[in-house]
A and B are shown apart, each in its own frame.
Chain A
Amino acid sequence: AQTVTQSQPEMSVQEAETVTLSCTYDTSESNYYLFWYKQPPSRQMILVIRQEAYKQQNATENRFSVNFQKAAKSFSLKISDSQLGDTAMYFCAFRKGDMRFGAGTRLTVKP
């Protein structure tokens, strides 16, 4: 079974700075999808970024980018120019069939 590990329960960053959230996963599959979701206090799960395992190029969405290391089974999220609105829980997720979520990282952006 696939497992997803987020080793940082909480993190904080100053506004306008850069922060990296870690995620590792365990799978024997070669083709799969990886995602980062954001869950603000409103509870709405919002897709931040996605990565297809067969693509070597790291995905980027505006201030959000990933460092996908397939051999190491690592999928970290970098948030550049952090904004107060980035304060939320961030979940890493793996999909091959069912979607499996990590435990989450609570990110606080400080003014």
Chain B
Amino acid sequence: SAVISQKPSRDICQRGTSLTIQCQVDSQVTMMFWYRQQPGQSLTLIATANQGSEATYESGFVIDKFPISRPNLTFSTLTVSNMSPEDSSIYLCSVERTENTEAFFGQGTRLTVV
């Protein structure tokens, strides 16, 4: 397994501002992922955070809105930029140790935009 620390656990933000979410893993991992979970819904992959290169974004998500950093093999950040109430969601960081096996998740960040 993996121990994943995600911060902050929750935040209430003003529209138009930005929030950066941090994800720290207890050991080096190859793959890190960011998901969004809108209220009452399933998880949607935002992007794959690649160490040493730009993140790979899924359809419907763009770097200007969700910039991601991956400075090393144990840490990543996701920024939600120029927030609107529609960005109110749970954001989850996920890692996997071996390609194509189970993913382990942080405890999530509950974001509310007012």
* Chain A residues at the B interface, C-beta cutoff of 8 Å: 32-33, 35, 42-45, 47, 50, 91, 95-99, 101-104
With A43-B107, A44-B107, A45-B92 known to touch, is A95 a contact of B42 (CB < 8 Å)?
Answer: no
Min Cβ gap B88→A in Å is 14
Pick from A32, A33, A42, A44: contact of B102, CB under 8 Å: A33
A102 to B104, CA, bound (A): 17
Q: Are A35 and B102 also in contact (CB < 8 A) when A42-B107, A44-B107, A44-B108 are? A: yes
Q: Beta-carbon contacts of B76-114 to A below 8 Å, as 1s and 0s?
A: 000000000000001010100000111111011010000
**Could you tell me if B100 and A43 are in contact, using CB atoms closer than 8 angstroms?**
no
* A43 CA to B104 CA, complexed, in Å: 13
Do B42 and A101 touch (CB < 8 A)? yes
Decide if B62 is an interface residue (CB 8 Å cutoff).
no
Q: How far is the CA of A43 from the CA of B111 in the complex (A)?
A: 13
**Residue numbers in A under 8 Å from B43 (CB-CB):** 45, 91, 101
Given A43-B90, A44-B108, the answer on whether A33 and B41 have CB atoms closer than 8 Å is: no
Interface pair B101/A44, CB less than 8 Å apart: no
Taking a contact as CB atoms under 8 Å apart, the answer to whether A44 and B41 are in contact is no
The verdict on B45 contacting chain A, using a C-beta distance below 8 Å, is yes
From known contacts A91-B43, A98-B45, A103-B42, infer whether A45 and B100 are also in contact, taking CB-CB under 8 Å: no
Q: Are A47 and B100 in contact (CB under 8 A)?
A: no
> B103 to A44, Cβ gap below 8 A?
no
A49 to chain B, nearest CB (A): 10
On whether the beta carbons of B105 and A45 are closer than 8 Å, the reply is: yes
Q: Pick the contact of A95: B100, B105, B108, B110 (CB < 8 A).
A: B100
The 10 closest A-B CB pairs, nearest first, are A45-B105, A43-B108, A101-B42, A101-B43, A103-B42, A44-B107, A47-B102, A50-B102, A104-B42, A99-B103
A102 to B102, CA, bound (A): 15
Q: How far is the CB of A47 from chain B (nearest CB, A)?
A: 5
Q: Which of A42, A98, A103 has the most CB atoms of chain B within a 10 A radius of its CB? A: A98
CA–CA, A61 and B59, complex, Å: 35
